[in-house]
Amino acid sequence: MSKPLRRALVWIRRDLRLYDHVPLARACAEADEVVVGFVFDTTILRDLQDKDDTRVTFIHDSVMEVDRGLAEHGSRLMVRYGDPVEEIPKLAAELGVDAVFTGRDYEPYANHRDAEVAQRLACPFVTLKDHVIFEAGEVLTQGGDPFRVYSPYARAWRTRFRPEVDAAEAVVDPAAFGKNLEPHVQDWPLEKVGFVRGEPWTPGGEAAGRENLRAFARKIGRYAANRDFPTRDATSGLSVHLRFGTVSTREAFRVALAEGGDKWMSELIWREFYQDILANLPDVVETTFNSAYRDLEFPGSDEHYQAWEDGMTGYPLVDAAMRCLNQTGWMHNRLRMVVAMFLTKDLLVDYRRGEAHFARKLLDFDLAQNNGGWQWSASVGADAAPYFRVFNPYLQSEKFDPEGEFIAEWVPELAALPAHQRHRPHEVSPMELLAAGIELGKTYPYPIVDHAVQKDLAIKLFSDLRGS
């Protein structure tokens, strides 16, 4: 039976893989010949400040692997550099394709970009759900509205979820891959797109991502008990692979179901929830999800913000987490909540400043997750808990880094202290500090604020605005 399309182009963006790929599977089913294309998007790249940005290295390595995978079937990846609004219609015209397939992206920039591409194409532009299980409009309240709180969203999500359908593999038929294609990805080394090689904390590419998933499946039973401890090898490390689509979201859910990873599945549903919020309420990128706080002004100082960014607040766990982020592009999820709440509730600095810093530094930066997490921590987002929830950074440190190992690794000036003293060095006697070679105020700062005082100020800031 002949297929309805002679030739199709699949434009990959945040789905840098060949396995379990909805747009690619659909194109292979409907076209005699399928060409895969990628654009190094200058609209995004020109805003990146560091020329060794590890995200570009991760993307480039992943794109190279897609090209090698296609080469195994006699095909190659068609790569362009420029504005996709111009490059995709141009490539489609050069190839003479009958349709362009791609995975839907719910970020505001992506929506605008894709609308422009669709307008300029001389053929159909087919966008398909791929990087979430359920998208906006599929999980709704009984009244037909989007959910605003995670727990009822998650219950409704699970009620609707049919694994054999919603998490089924999208099977790709490589027999349809186009042959004898030039140019391919080797024509675009990192230097040609204006960057140099960075050192991501995890390798890019589908092979590395799927191996990571398999390794996590072997320890997923320990995830619920150990996931909040940054020195324990308990988390999946898959956030960046899910962000760039080097691992299929559907495969992640299949593993969670097969291995009894219900707690991890709940975290994957959090990812779906934040994507749902961004798709339904794109204004959250600029303003607070909770309209009651649209006029909230954070009184925190530039000096305090800079101490937070540099990891010099005098709160060891906060400083360790920030130094780790700045040096590696990684931060443990528990620590993301700790440092975000410290910035917004202890230092009273606008969450958008911290959100922007994470956007610059995180290898796994994802707009929906980053925005949702920061607004949750600042108590201005989608959260059922009241605004007077304020983490105590000392208690968080003592509970989740009980031996002070993470602190010792990233704040080495405190490593000579006994483990139990690393959490609150300002309470250590002068003789013990001297013995450890520590001079507070010189080798390590005093706490820049008093947590108890700042907690009261934060609660008053929110309650005054609410008139309560």
Residue 148 belongs to domain with CATH number: 1.25.40.80
| CA 246 and chain centroid, separation | 13
* pLDDT beyond 80 at 297: yes
Instruction: Give me 244's structure tokens.
Output: 């760039």
Range of the structural domain that residue 241 is part of: 131-170+206-280
* pLDDT beyond 80 at 181: no
Q: Which of 280, 304, 333 is the last residue of a domain?
A: 280
Answer whether residue 388 is part of any domain. Answer: yes
Count Cβ atoms within 10 A of the Cβ of residue 270 and give its class: 0-12 exposed, 13-18 middle, 19 or more buried.
middle
- Same domain? 298 vs 443: yes
Answer whether residue 187 is part of any domain. Answer: no
Answer whether residue 32 is part of any domain. Answer: yes
* pLDDT beyond 90 at 388: no
Q: What is the CATH number of the domain that holds 63?
A: 3.40.50.620
Count Cβ atoms within 10 A of the Cβ of residue 278 and give its class: 0-12 exposed, 13-18 middle, 19 or more buried.
buried
What is the rounded (10 degree) CA torsion for 11, 12, 18, 21?
Answer: -90
- Same domain? 113 vs 142: no
- Same domain? 13 vs 83: yes
CB environment 313-323: b (16+ within 10 A), e (fewer): bbbbbbbbbbb
* pLDDT beyond 70 at 468: no
- Same domain? 337 vs 452: yes
- Same domain? 263 vs 348: no
Answer whether residue 146 is part of any domain. Answer: yes
Number of domains in the chain: 3
- Same domain? 67 vs 114: yes
Answer whether residue 331 is part of any domain. Answer: yes
Which of 168, 370, 148, 175 lies closest to 273 in space, CA to CA? Answer: 148
Q: To the nearest whole number, what is the mean pLDDT of the chain?
A: 95
Question: Is residue 21 very low, low, confident or very high in pLDDT (cuts 50, 70, 90)?
Answer: very high
* pLDDT beyond 60 at 248: yes
Instruction: Give me 255's structure tokens.
Output: 């593993």
Mean pLDDT within 270-280: 97
Answer whether residue 177 is part of any domain. Answer: no
Q: Which of 280, 304, 337 is the last residue of a domain?
A: 280
Question: Is residue 81 very low, low, confident or very high in pLDDT (cuts 50, 70, 90)?
Answer: very high
Taking the C-alpha atoms of residue 235 and residue 92, their distance in angstroms, rounded to an integer, is 41
Count Cβ atoms below 10 Å from residue 163 Cβ, excluding itself: 14
Mean pLDDT within 88-117: 97
- Same domain? 251 vs 383: no
Taking the C-alpha atoms of residue 138 and residue 134, their distance in angstroms, rounded to an integer, is 6
pLDDT of residue 1: 56
pLDDT of residue 186: 60
pLDDT of residue 448: 98
Which of 42, 28, 72, 311 lies closest to 170 in space, CA to CA? Answer: 28
pLDDT of residue 386: 72
pLDDT of residue 449: 98
Whole-angstrom Cα Rg for the chain: 24
Mean pLDDT within 3-30: 97
pLDDT of residue 193: 86
pLDDT of residue 384: 66
pLDDT of residue 266: 98
* pLDDT beyond 90 at 192: no
pLDDT of residue 351: 98
pLDDT of residue 184: 58
Q: What does the pLDDT look like over 331-380, one tens digit per residue? A: 999 999 999 999 999 999 999 999 999 999 999 999 999 999 999 999 99
* pLDDT beyond 90 at 148: yes
* pLDDT beyond 80 at 387: no
Q: What does the pLDDT look like over 302-334, one tens digit per residue? A: 999 999 999 999 999 999 999 999 999 999 999
Q: Which of 280, 309, 328 is the last residue of a domain?
A: 280
Question: In which element (H, E) is residue 33 found?
Answer: strand 31-41
Instruction: Give me 143's structure tokens.
Output: 């009244």
Mean pLDDT within 88-110: 97
Question: Is residue 467 very low, low, confident or very high in pLDDT (cuts 50, 70, 90)?
Answer: low
Q: What is the CATH number of the domain that holds 423?
A: 1.10.579.10
pLDDT of residue 383: 79
- Residue 31: beta bridge partners? 5
The DSSP annotation for 395-433 comes to: HHHHHHSTT-HHHHHH-GGGTTS-GGGSS-GGGS-HHHH
Mean pLDDT within 30-36: 97
- Same domain? 45 vs 62: yes
Which of 358, 338, 347, 342 lies closest to 301 in space, CA to CA? Answer: 347
* pLDDT beyond 60 at 117: yes
- Same domain? 332 vs 453: yes
Question: In which element (H, E) is residue 111 found?
Answer: helix 108-120
Mean pLDDT within 438-454: 97
Residue with tokens 């219950």: 155
- Same domain? 148 vs 261: yes
- Same domain? 305 vs 449: yes
